[in-house]
Structure formats: C-alpha cells, structure tokens
Chain A
Amino acid sequence: MSAERLAPFVLIAPAVLIIVLFRLWPLLLGVNFSFTGDGDRNGAAVGLDNYAELFADPLFRGALRNVGWLVLLLPVAVAIPGMLATFIYLRVPGHRLYRSVYFFPAVLSPVIVGSIFNLLLSFDGPLNSLLDVVGIGPVDWLGDSKVALFTVVGVHVWATFGMALVVFLSGFATLDPALLDAARSDGAALPQVIRHVIIPGLSRTIQFVFVTTMIGMLTSMFGLIYVMTSGGPGGSTYLPEYYIWIQQGQMNRPAFASAASTVLFLVMLVVGLAQVSFLRRTGKED
C-alpha cells in the first residue's frame, strides 16, 4: 500500500485508538464483568444470575419506574424555560434582570443546590413555616415517599433551567420579528402568538432543549439525590445511578453493579437512538 493510501488511516488512528482503548474496551470489560459473581463467587462465570437478581429486586424496578417518571415530567421541564424565555423575549418589565437571575442557579454545583433546598424544605424549615402562616399543614417535602421524587425533580429543574433558557433566547434571535409584528397587527392575542408564531418558529430549538434536558435528567441527578434524599424515603427516589453506586460502594458487589450499569447503558442507548432518529426525521422536513 502506498504512503498516500495509508496516511488517512494513520491520521485517524489516534482518535480511534483513544475511543477503542478508553471507551469501547472498558465498556466491553464492564459488560463481561457483569456475567461474573461477587464475594464467594468472585471471578466465576455466573451467566445471567446478576440480571435475574436485578430484575427481581423491587428496588431496581422502582429505580427504573422513576426513570419513567422523569421522562413523563420532561415536557414540564422544557415548558418552564420556554415560557420564561418567551416573556423575556416579549420584554416584560424587568426582563434584563430576570435574564441574569434565571441563569444564576446554573452555575451552582448540585451539592450546594441540594444543601440550600435541604434547609428550605426541611420539616421545620422556612417553606413549611410559610405554609403554616397561610393555613396549609406542613408537607414533609423530602420525607414523604409520594412527594420526594417530585421535590427533587423540581429542584433539578430550578437548578438547570437557566441553561435551557439561554438556548431558547438564542433561538428567539433567529425568529423573524416581522412575523410577530404581522401577527400583532392582525390582532392576535398572546396565546395565539405563542401557538402560531413562536412555537413553529422555534421547533428546532425546542427539540434540542428536549434532548439536552432528557440527558441532563438521566445523568446528573445523582448529586441531588445523594444530598437531598439518599434515595429515600423507603427507596422512593432511587435512580439507576444511585442504585449502582450503593451496590458497588456500600454492598461491595462490583459485578452486580456492572450488571445494573449495563442495563442503564441499554436504557440510555434506546432513549438516545430514539432521540437521534426523531431529530433526523424532523431535520428532513426543513
């Protein structure tokens, strides 16, 4: 083979090597590891035992169910920054202030956010005192298993919507102001402007925010869960990541944790591929 033919391969070799060596190979090792045992059966091949145990564990099934809840809550998590960005774009009084205030939480680490809300939402904390003043009984925001997951998701949305807001605002920059003026002079009310001008004009941006928010919810809730609920009460706020961490770190079952990681990887793969195909399809429409 001549040097010219060889050159492209040599040039992509570093990137390929790094991906294979540090991404694919460890991934395969991890999957392979998930078919071995822990403790007394350390290193021995155990077939699908880990996976059978995993799906028999109500805690892990609960964690997967919570992932389902996250997916269902996704529209809310996208709608909030979308609405607020719309108001800023429409220049509500004080919109400059809001733009920076809304973005501010995005620079805080989940641990700090979690600690702040631990104080605010504690049973004898300020929020419950406020509810008491208006005559509503206290809510155990983080200690009631029916409420806790929604509390944590709410805090996650609060902490991260600033980034989505900025993306929305940049989307608005591409929106043709003439369309808005035309709609207004035709006598369209605000809901109509949003429904018929803004949403169609921003469809690409909305899709992008959907994808990034989904990824954010599935991959970066660990810090908040860890700080705010430790998976509780009664395991009601477990997510697969937290489950994996408990099994590996606290139960000393690395192979079992690998099996859970493999399942999480597959879930992410399905979600990711669905999103990619969704994006590709809508991309073709343009």
Chain B
Amino acid sequence: MKQRVLWPAAVAVALALAGCGSATGNEPSSNSASGKLVVWDWKSSDKTATAYVEKAKADFAKKHPGVTVEFVAQPFDQYYTLLGAAIQAGKGPDVMMFNGGGQIRDRVDALVPLDQYVGPDKERLAGWDAFTKDGKVYASPVTLQGHPIYYNKDLYKKAGLDPQQPATTWDGFTADCATITKATKASCFALGNKEGIGIQFFLSAFGSGILTPQEYDSWIAGKRDWNSPNVKKVFQLWKDVNDRGLNSKGGNSTTMFTDAFGIFQSAKATNIIGLMSDIGHWKDFNEFIGPDNLGVMKSPVITTGATPSLPFDGGIGYAVAKWTKDPVLAADLVRSLTSTDALATFYANAGAVVSDTTVKTTDGGAAVTAIVADLKTGKPALHVALSSKTIELMGRLSQQILEGSVSVDAALKQLGESDRS
C-alpha cells in the first residue's frame, strides 16, 4: 500500500520540478566573461545590412581575435518592449542599437557613458547630439536621420514650372502646388498621419522656415515657448494646409510607413517630407521616380527672418549596456560598428546617409548630393528634442486638429503642459 502511494508522489514531484526547469530556462544570455559579446538591434537581419555587419565584425576580429560577436536581430515594433524587459532584469545584450533622441535619453540609466572610449571618432562622425544627455555621450551614431522635403521634378515639368528652381517663399510654393494640381491632379503633399508621425515630420521640416534662428536654438536647448506666435504658426499651418486641401486625402487613416511614401512614389503627390536613411529616403524614391526626377528642397521662408535649414540628427547608433562585464571591449565593438569601411558599405547597400562625413556619396544622384551638402548648415530636428510622452501626445492632438475636434490653442496648451512636466 505504502509503495502504491509513494510512487505516484515521486513521479508528481519529479514532474513539478521538470516543469519549473523548462519554464525558466530561457534567460537572455550575457556571456562576455567567456569572450562573447551579444548585440541587439533591428537592422542586422536586413539583407542591405549584411555586408555592413560583416565588415564591422571583421574589423573587431582584427583587434580582438578571441572574442565572438553574436548579433540578435529583434523585430522593431517590439524592440523597446524587449529591451525594457532586459533593462528591468538588469541583464541582456552587451551592445544595443538605439534611435537617437527620446528613446535613448529615457534609458541612459542602463547605459555606459562612452566619452572616454570614442574620443578619436568625435571629429569623423556627425550626429552625436541625439545620443547625448547632460553632456555625456551614450551611443556612437551609425546613420544620420533627417527630414528633407522631396519633390517630383517630373510633375513640375508637366505643369510648365522650372524643376531646378522651386519656390523659396510659402506663397510661391503653394502657388506652384496649385498649378501642378491643376495640370496633373497630384496633391501638394503626401500625408500619412495614422501613426501620428506626419506632424513630427511637418514640425521639423517647416520649423526652420517659421521660427527665428534664436527661437529655433532655444527650442533645441530645451527653452520652448509653446505660446509664442511662431510656434502657434507651425500648428496653424498644419491645420491650414489640410483645410486648403493641399494634403492627400484621408491623412489620419494613411500610414506614413509606407502608404504615404507610396502616394509620392506613384506621382499622386508633388512633395513629401521624407527621411534620409532606412526607408522613405532618396534611394527608395530614386527607384520609383528616377534619380533625375527627384529633387530636394529646404523649407520655404514662411515668416520673414527665418533661415531655412535641413533638420537632421543622429539616426541610429550603438550603445553599451551598464551590466556588460568589460565595457572597454564592448566600446571597441561600437567603434568597429562605426568604422569608415563598415559605414561606407552601409551607405552603398542600404542608401543610409551615414554618420561618417568622409564617406563619398557622389554616385547616388542629385538628391543625396543636395542632402549631404546641406548637412553643414543643418540643425537638429525640432521634434527629436521632445520627450516620447510629448511626441505621443502631439501625434494624437495633430489628428484631432485635422478632424477639427481640438483647436490649435487647446492643443498648444496641452503640449506646453506635457513638455514642462
């Protein structure tokens, strides 16, 4: 009798223990002690990034032959959720990719300041500001991200306008748009604001044409006056452009990625505020409307006294986790990931405008040449300076402004409160 009871009991206990074991066996690995570095990103699985990763790995292997590097590509839409879990647990990858701006600034507690390791790269690379908080650098920039206004030269030609000389004033710009719409039915802008991203691009692309240089610089420095007439003008213009029918229809239900880009690529819109790297950039557009038909302009002058410039920041970069066993080793990997050779490959394959200012871009067509030429006078993008909370709120309010359910003044009041908190 005793035997009959004890056996099932033993089996049950064994099962329970096995159950625990298998359910807890999936911890993220961090094996830097055994000569291994783990990198998390969302790029390395892209075909266009394969050669870049190989170049960087080779560069690192020359310096540290005994260390293996493992790239773990995460899906982008879950990246920061997964990273958040790793940060909460205090273990995870040694090196990880970040978007510049709010995403990295919100998480610097989990990162190693890189200033002492990446000093020699400071001159060669651009875009550090987006990865800097309180004077300390937390990641090395890989690409530059910005918001050029792309336009379709072919539509200009069809409407009898000179595609080499786009208007430099707002009135001239909208008059050209009207002419083009009349001749070709193409709307002035392709707008995608389903994710609330349209307003971010709009704010940054036209901000330098509306704010005075002083206002612009104070905005970036964190002194933002949401009640100022010029800030109000940005959001009023956002509404007016839509009310006047300059946008492609249904902006609130059109995704920026990638429906709005599609509208521009199929020549249904004359202009689009695009990106410089990754997607929706000169290389994508070149493929559809041809390198000869793709133009880039800076914001027209909307208020007198404004000096239009190209808005750009560090796009993506690699940072080192606080919990890594050997920060020097991990920082060396970051340096390999931003070496000139690797970045030149990334530019050639993915069309990213890379952070390395010595990479040659003359073979890419007129648009990328114009973008790179504008980098010298470019300034950080206005929306990148905002916290992710304010950005998210701005996205929602921008949709409500387009719908007419929230006034521009009410939106600015909420944004001001969010920005100050």
Chain A contacts to B: CB under 8 angstroms? 3-4, 6-7, 10-11, 13-14, 17-18, 21-22, 39, 42, 59, 121-124, 138, 140-145, 229-230, 232-235, 245-246, 248-252, 254
Contacts and interface: CB of A to CB of B under 8 A. Distances in A.
A121 B255 CA distance: 13
B375 to A, nearest CB: 29
Contact of B19 (A14, A121, A145, A235): A14
Contacts of A232: 194-196, 252, 395-396, 399
Interface bin, chain B: 35 or more
B84 A252 contact: yes
Contact of A123 (B249, B395, B396): B249
Contacts of A59: 396
Given A145-B400, A246-B392, A249-B81, A230 B195 contact: yes
B5 interface: yes
B15 interface: yes
Given A14-B12, A14-B15, A123 B81 contact: no
A240 to B, nearest CB: 16
Interface string B194-210: 11100000000000000
A124 B187 CA distance: 14
Contacts, number: 120
Nearest to B19: A18
B109 A245 contact: no
A112 B388 CA distance: 29
10 contacts: A39-B106, A122-B259, A140-B252, A144-B252, A145-B399, A229-B194, A232-B396, A234-B396, A249-B81, A252-B388
B282 to A, nearest CB: 26
A233 B389 CA distance: 17
B16 A14 contact: yes
B5 A3 contact: yes
Contacts of B1: 3-4
A17 B250 contact: no
Contacts of B6: 3
Contacts of A124: 249-250
B254 A122 contact: yes
User: Which of B1, B20, B195, B403 has the most A CB atoms < 10 Å from its CB?
Assistant: B403
User: Which of B23, B78, B253 has the most A CB atoms < 10 Å from its CB?
Assistant: B253
Contacts of A246: 392
Contacts of B400: 145, 233-234
Nearest to B15: A14
Q: Which 6 A-B pairs have the closest CB atoms?
A: A123-B250, A143-B253, A143-B252, A249-B81, A233-B399, A234-B400
A143 B84 contact: no
B399 A122 contact: no
Interface in B63-120: 78, 80-81, 84, 88, 106-107, 109
Contacts of A140: 250, 252-253
Given A7-B9, A18-B19, A248-B81, A233 B252 contact: yes
B129 to A, nearest CB: 20
B406 interface: yes
A232 to B, nearest CB: 5
A215 B320 CA distance: 43
